């Protein structure tokens, strides 16, 4: 594995878990009142586009990173729907 690939996987791992602290906080607090649904809907659509791009160019780092980001965005959307008024 080249240095560029290692850097790509490391950057992908950090990026993939960008939303993790917010997911954990929202889950624990059972409140998403101050969370922007629009922001996470935009992120969700963005991750879908990045996933398609990753598959088109056959780049596993892009696919893996954005699959995790899509999951995190999806969780936040679900939490917003469940706890948004609390």
List of residues 6+ apart from 72 with CB closer than 8 A:
16, 17, 18, 19, 20, 23
pLDDT tens, the chain, 86 aa long: 899 989 989 998 998 889 899 999 999 999 998 899 999 999 999 999 999 999 999 999 999 999 999 999 999 999 999 998 75
CATH at 31: 1.20.1280.290
pLDDT at 17: 87
Could you tell me the residue range of the domain that residue 48 belongs to? Answer: 3-83
pLDDT at 1: 85
Domain count, the chain: 1
């Amino acid at each position: 594995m080249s240095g560029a690939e290692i850097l790509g996987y490391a950057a992908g791992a950090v990026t993939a878990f960008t939303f993790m602290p917010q997911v954990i906080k929202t889950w624990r607090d059972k409140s998403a009142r101050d969370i922007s649904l629009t922001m996470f809907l935009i992120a969700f659509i963005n991750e879908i586009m990045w996933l398609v791009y990753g598959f088109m160019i056959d780049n596993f780092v892009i696919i893996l990173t954005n699959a995790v980001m899509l999951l995190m965005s999806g969780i936040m959307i679900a939490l917003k729907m469940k706890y948004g008024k609390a």
